[in-house]
Structure 1
Amino acid sequence: DVLAVIHAKLHERITHADWAVLSKKEEVGVAKAYTRRCKNAGGARETVERASGVRRVDYLMGRVRFMGLEWVGDGGVRLITA
């Protein structure tokens, strides 16, 4: 199921290489999204989320409404969010 794969991928932890390619502006946006996600978890879950680090979902920087998928390039797919 496509949606299950998207969900699983968005909850993967990022790598140091992923972080290294971000601009300073993107780093700030992702860090804010990470902090917001952790705080929204609340209670003991907040501690668990903070310990697990930045996840791919944080790259969406709050744009978490699924709008569709778009074919790009040679078989690539782009996630469209709002």
Structure 2
Amino acid sequence: MAIVTAKEALGYALGREMLLLYLVVLAGYVAMLLGGWFASGWALRGGGAGFLGQLLAAVCLLAGFVAVLGGLIGFVYKVIADANAVARE
């Protein structure tokens, strides 16, 4: 088993591909927060937007959930694929 230095580990964790995956997860989390905020009625002054407000909340929540899930799956896939590539060397 190879020894990984702290500099190499940080270089991998903060690489361009990993930062993109972190950004996808963060954007999905923000979308989920906005969807929850819209659904709770705080942003719509007592839920006065009716069906349109509920639809907007559902779309934000669903899009956020898909982005978070996709980002996390992509993150795990990348780590496993990179580990397999290193093991083959």
When normalised by structure 2's length, the TM-score is: 0.30
Structure showing greater radius of gyration is 2
Q: Which has the higher contact order (CA 8 A, sep 6+)?
A: 2
Q: Which has the higher strand share?
A: 1
